Amino acid sequence: MDEETKPNRQQRRAARSQGDLDTAGFLKIADTFIDLANRHNKQVQATQLHMAFLFAAARYNAHVGKSVLEVENHEEFVESMIAEYTDFLRQHLADASLSSPDES
């Protein structure tokens, strides 16, 4: 995005007030879920916790698909969600800043 098309501070604030997320807002919300997981991980095994988060994400995404976006073709929506998740997971697995088991 060049400087001419990049939204200014006022435009970003207006977009946020209408519920739109910029990259910083998106990451901030994602971090709150990660923080919640880390707090729960003190008492719940990570192998169980990650499945609970995945279940919750699927439940919320089903709500958004059916009630907010009103998707007619559920399978297309599922496939698009699978593709998004796959991309996110691959990016994070490739992230050198995440420690591997032998580095913990």
The secondary structure of 55-70 as a DSSP string is: HHHHHHHHHIIIIIS-
Task: Give the per-residue pLDDT at 19.
Answer: 74
Residue 22 has pLDDT above 70, yes or no: yes
How many domains, the chain? 2
Residue 81 has pLDDT above 70, yes or no: yes
State whether 57 and 75 are in the same domain: yes
Q: Where does the pLDDT of residue 78 fall: very low under 50, low under 70, confident under 90, or very high at 90 and above?
A: very high
Asked if residues 53 and 33 have their Cβ atoms less than 8 Å apart, the reply is yes
Residue 15 has pLDDT above 80, yes or no: no
- 92 lies in which domain range? 45-104
Dig out the tokens for 23 from the structure: 């990259």
State whether 83 and 104 are in the same domain: yes
State whether 103 and 54 are in the same domain: yes
Residue 100 has pLDDT above 80, yes or no: no
* Distance of alpha carbon 66 from alpha carbon 14, whole angstroms: 28
State whether 54 and 37 are in the same domain: no
Predicted TM-score of the model (pTM): 0.72
Task: Give the per-residue pLDDT at 79.
Answer: 98
